[in-house]
Structures are given as C-alpha cells and as structure tokens.
Amino acid sequence: MTGQEIVFTLLGVVAVGSAVMVVTTRQLVHAALWLVVSFGALAGGYLVLTAEFVAWVQVLIYVGAVVVLLLFGIMLTRAPIGPVPRSGEDDPLDSGNRWAALAVAVATAAVLITVLVMGFRDSRIRLEAGGGGAEPLGGSLFRTWVLPFEVLSVLLLAALVGAIVLSRTDIGAEDDEPGTDIPARTGGPAPDGGARVGGAKTGAGTDTGGRTGSGGSKGGGAKVDHSAEIAGAETDVKGGDGKAGAAEGSRGGADGARGREEGGG
C-alpha cells in the first residue's frame, strides 16, 4: 500500500464511521455535526484522488450550506434538540420506519457497489495532478455529459418550484387552507395575542392559519409552530401598530417561501 492508499482508506473509515454516528447519536444537533465530519472526510477523499475542484465544492455546498440548513431546520422546529433519554415506547427519536429505512439504505448501497464493481472491475485510472481541476471537469460535463447535466438541472428546478408551491397557501385548492383549526393547536398565545394587538380577531386568526398552514404543508405541522412564533415575536419587537386585517392572511401565506429566512430573524 502506498501512502496515498493508506490516507484514502483512513478517510473512508472516518466517513463511514461518522455516518454511523449520525444515525446512532442521541442528539440531533450532534448528528448534524457528525454529518459534517462525514462530508469533510469525503472531501478529503476527493482531494486524495486529485479532484480538488469537486473537493472544495463538496466543502462549500455540502458542509457549508446543506448541513447549515439542516441545523437551521432542526433548531427552528420543535425537533427534540436536547439530549434525549433512551426510553422504550415514547422515545422521540424512535421511528417506526427504522427497519424499512435500513433496508432501503442497504439496498441502495448494494446497487451502488454492484454498479461500481461491475463497471470498473479491471480498469485502472492513473491519477495525475490537475486531472480533477475545474477545466477538465467542465469540459467533460458540458461536452460528454451535457444531457444528464441538463436533466438534473430540470429536476432541481422542479424541486424548487415544488417547494414554493407547497409553502404557499394562497394558490391551489381552497379547502387546503386549515385556517381555523391550526391556531387552536398552536396554543393560546398565538390567536389571543394577535387579536389583542391587531384588534381584528378574525383577521389575525386567518393570518396565523395561513402561515402555520404553509408550514404544515411543508412537512410536519407541529414542526413549524416554533418558527412562526419566533418570526411573530420578532416582528412584534419591531413594533407593528396593528394594520392587520383579512388582507394580512394572504400576505402571511405568500411570505411562506421566505419563511425559512424570516423565521430566523
């Protein structure tokens, strides 16, 4: 084994080990941090394979943006982000889908490994410095693989549009709007306070419904309550003088797309 191979193997061990930690740790935020280690080790692996452009893009996008957004999501929602006790029935981290998820993960890994082994069994690629720079990568991406690249772009665009559609409640079917039942579930402060400041109980109520509903369709209604509260508390600090009203409801919904950012502040 050469030095490179040893480093590569070690990086692989770190990546797999920290990936296992991601799914076994009892702290959601620590899980995200282990994911950072895993992605970082992966980037190191790319570096050893002389693919430095891919390596830095891995750090920039996966470590720098994806996991930060993940942390962001964990902290803004009512996900259990304190240490969670190991208890049987009502363990918040226990999922009924555990075995299904394991099966899917193993199957995916098996398919990938099979494809790699079958495809590259006998081939050896000679690594040379600069072979993984931006120029060769761009060349092969936009000459040889331009069609898959474009298809992927369309897929990402579809995902983007889908996210916007899901987070907006002012478009789509009318009966989707859970305008009345959600505020009751979010707890007392929301509708009461809104009405007190706004002076228009129905208007404020609809508004809350719109926003919470927008989150609810994003996935897991209970998750977004906190974000709505934070955003609400923040705007309250900034001093609204109570121009609420029914029109506000649609605005709250329309802002759903921005909800992630605004929830933070």
Q: Which of residues 64-83 bind other proteins (CB under 8 A)?
A: 64-65, 68-69, 71-72, 75-76, 78, 80-83
- Distances in whole angstroms, Cα of residue 168 to Cα of each of 88, 177, 212, 253: 38, 10, 11, 6
Query: Minimum CB separation from other proteins for residue 103, in Å?
Result: 29
How many helices and strands (H and E) does the chain possess? 13, 0
What's the residue count for the chain?
A: 265
Query: Any contact of residue 254 with other proteins (CB under 8 A)?
Result: no
Cβ proximity to other proteins: between 105 and 135 the closer is 135
Place of tokens 């474009």: 150
| Nearest Cα to Cα of residue 40 among 20, 21, 23, 62 | 62
- Distances in whole angstroms, Cα of residue 198 to Cα of each of 53, 189, 204, 206, 236: 53, 13, 7, 12, 11
Measured between alpha carbons, how far is 248 from 243 in angstroms, rounded to an integer?
A: 8
Cβ proximity to other proteins: between 65 and 110 the closer is 65
Query: Any contact of residue 261 with other proteins (CB under 8 A)?
Result: yes
Residue span binding other proteins (CB under 8 A) among the ranges 4-12, 49-57, 96-104, 163-171: 49-57
Cβ proximity to other proteins: between 89 and 122 the closer is 89
203: part of which helix (H) or strand (E)? helix 201-218
Query: Minimum CB separation from other proteins for residue 8, in Å?
Result: 20
Query: Any contact of residue 208 with other proteins (CB under 8 A)?
Result: yes
Q: Which of 196, 219, 220, 246 is in the footprint of other proteins by CB under 8 A?
A: 196
Query: Any contact of residue 163 with other proteins (CB under 8 A)?
Result: no
Cβ proximity to other proteins: between 11 and 205 the closer is 205
- Name 58's Cβ contacts closer than 8 Å, sequence gap at least 6: 39, 42, 43, 46
Query: Any contact of residue 201 with other proteins (CB under 8 A)?
Result: no
The distance from CA 165 to its chain's CA centroid, rounded to whole angstroms, is: 17
Query: Minimum CB separation from other proteins for residue 159, in Å?
Result: 17
Measured between alpha carbons, how far is 3 from 197 in angstroms, rounded to an integer?
A: 68
Query: Any contact of residue 184 with other proteins (CB under 8 A)?
Result: no
- Name 228's Cβ contacts closer than 8 Å, sequence gap at least 6: 186, 190, 208, 211, 212, 215, 263
Q: Which of 85, 139, 148, 219 is in the footprint of other proteins by CB under 8 A?
A: 85
In the shown chain, the binding pattern of residues 9 to 48 toward other proteins, with x for contact by CB under 8 A and - for none, equals -----------------xx-xx--x--x------------
Query: Minimum CB separation from other proteins for residue 52, in Å?
Result: 6
Query: Any contact of residue 252 with other proteins (CB under 8 A)?
Result: yes
Query: Any contact of residue 193 with other proteins (CB under 8 A)?
Result: yes
